[in-house]
Structure 1
Amino acid sequence: MAPYHIRRYQDHDWEPVRELFSQGLLGNMPSDFRHLLKKPRTFLIILGVPFALFLGSGSLVLCLLSLLGLLAGHWLTFRHCIIQYIDKSLHNDLLDIQKSYLSGRGSSFWVAESEYQVVGIVGARPASGPIGGRNYLELRRLSVKRTYRGKGMARTLIQTVLQFARDEGYDGVVLGTPNSYHPAQRLYESLGFWKYHESGYYLNWWLGFFSVWHYQCDFSSQK
């Protein structure tokens, strides 16, 4: 892997940052989809409907066609949900990164650059509200180009956020990550984060609940 360095976001990074964010989520869709298929509600529909058709009609062909149709329908619906989330993000904080992350103290945005290309990103801004009466920085939009993953870049980006939070006087750092991102969870935990809350939202009645795990790193516990 070519060497890289971490620096603050600049205006000419706008398009590469947005593209890296979008491609990161799109690239994670297959693993996220497989995780959703294992959920009881989805699993029951995927197998239950074809089995019921087979019992009712005795046709194996109809059973297989319904299974393929359900898988295709679930995939297209899930893909639509992810694209909607990407579009919402691109029109929210990633529409004006300077204003969202660099307009004042206490927040920032960094890129990892290698051979004049943006290959990693991470942002941080104050959490929406005090947690337990303490002030936390929220780590956001962490993404690393696929060919650079597994090389320590994500760890370096997270450590950049942690050091920034200490320098700015925050009590710690919080973040949210889908519960299907097991390598990311292991990385967070190795850096002192611990899971303190689980939330999520219903994609729809047949895809069910998309879980998000919330992690927290307290600086006081590391002294």
Structure 2
Amino acid sequence: MAPYHIRKYQDQDRETVIDIFTKGTLNDIPSCFLHLLKQPRGFLLLLGGPGALFLESGSYILSLLAFLGLLAVLWWVARYPFSSMVDHALHTDMRDIKKFYLRDRGSCFWVAESEGRVVGMVGAHPAQEASERWKNLELLHLSVDQEHRGQGIAKSLTQTLIQFAQDQGYDNVVLSTHALNYPAQRLYERLGFWKSHEAFDSLKWKMAAIPFLFYKYAVSSSS
């Protein structure tokens, strides 16, 4: 296991950070596609559509083409939420990481570096949904390069963010992750996060049948 250390983001990290974020996000598409295939509606669509066409036309070729076409549609449905997530981030907070995360004291962006190479990342920013009662810090874009997973890097990045939240006087750390991201869920729950609620983030995630899980970590009770 190669040693690593956590430090603040620098401008020269941008290309690698964007690459890790993009690949890490799009890497979940196959699991989403399989998830869709296991859904009753996906199963019925793949079998019922070509089956009905065969009964109507008696053509195996038309039925096969319909089956392949429906597979392509389901792949697009699985890919669209993740590609949209990447596109949205690259046009908002990830467009200028230093300006968005490092301009104010209440936010930050860290990278994990191993052998001179950035291998992980996480951002912290005041939660957009302001609360009159609580001061919440949102964890964003936690991701680790595929080759460096399983080394405790994601845990260290999250703990760094929690310590930052304590130092800055936040009441809670909040985050969301999609329901198929089981490794992230296990990590957060081991670190003391609890699931506050579950909801579909938007119509495109509802089409993919993937809800988001919203987690919270009470900083004040741990300090």
Whether contact under 8 Å (1:42, 1:208) holds in the other structure is no
**Matched AA of 1:25:** T
Q: Which residue of 2 is the match for residue 85 of structure 1? A: 85
| CA distance in 2 between partners of 1:201 and 1:215 (Å) | 18
CA displacement at 1:88 relative to structure 2: 1.9
**Matched AA of 1:186:** R
Deviations 1:151-182 (A, max 9, x none): 21111111111111011111110101010111
Does residue 19 of structure 2 align to residue 27 of structure 1? Answer: no
**Matched AA of 2:18:** R
Deviations 1:68-89 (A, max 9, x none): 2211222134334432331221
**Matched AA of 2:202:** Y
Find the residue that maps to 2:210 and give its secondary structure. Answer: strand
Whether contact under 8 Å (2:166, 2:220) holds in the other structure is no
| Range with bigger deviation, 90-99 or 34-43 | 34-43
| CA distance in 2 between partners of 1:61 and 1:34 (Å) | 25
Find the residue that maps to 2:203 and give its secondary structure. Answer: strand
Q: Which residue of 2 is the match for residue 144 of structure 1? A: 144
**Matched AA of 2:19:** E
**Matched AA of 1:136:** N
**Matched AA of 1:212:** F
Q: Which residue of 2 is the match for residue 74 of structure 1? A: 74
Q: Which residue of 1 is the match for residue 157 of structure 2? A: 157
Deviations 1:36-58 (A, max 9, x none): 33334333323321232233344
Does residue 38 of structure 2 align to residue 41 of structure 1? Answer: no
Q: How well do the aligned residues superpose, as a CA RMSD in angstroms?
A: 2.1
Report the TM-score, using the length of structure 1 for normalisation.
0.90
Q: Which residue of 2 is the match for residue 13 of structure 1? A: 13
Correspondence list, 1:128-139, <5 A: 128-131=128-131, 133-139=133-139
Percent identity between matched residues is 52
**Matched AA of 2:175:** L
Correspondence list, 1:63-212, <5 A: 63-131=63-131, 133-199=133-199, 200-203=201-204, 207-212=207-212
Whether contact under 8 Å (1:202, 1:210) holds in the other structure is no
Find the residue that maps to 2:93 and give its secondary structure. Answer: coil
**Matched AA of 2:189:** E
Deviations 1:5-50 (A, max 9, x none): 1000111111111111111112222112222333343333233212
For this pair of structures, how many residues does the alignment match? 222
**Matched AA of 2:166:** R
Find the residue that maps to 2:27 and give its secondary structure. Answer: helix
Over 6 Å off, 4+ runs: none
Deviations 1:190-221 (A, max 9, x none): 1111111222222289x444311111111344
| CA distance in 2 between partners of 1:132 and 1:48 (Å) | 52
Whether contact under 8 Å (2:78, 2:208) holds in the other structure is no
Find the residue that maps to 1:210 and give its secondary structure. Answer: coil
- Is the strand fraction higher in 1 or 2? 1
Whether contact under 8 Å (2:77, 2:208) holds in the other structure is no
Find the residue that maps to 1:94 and give its secondary structure. Answer: coil
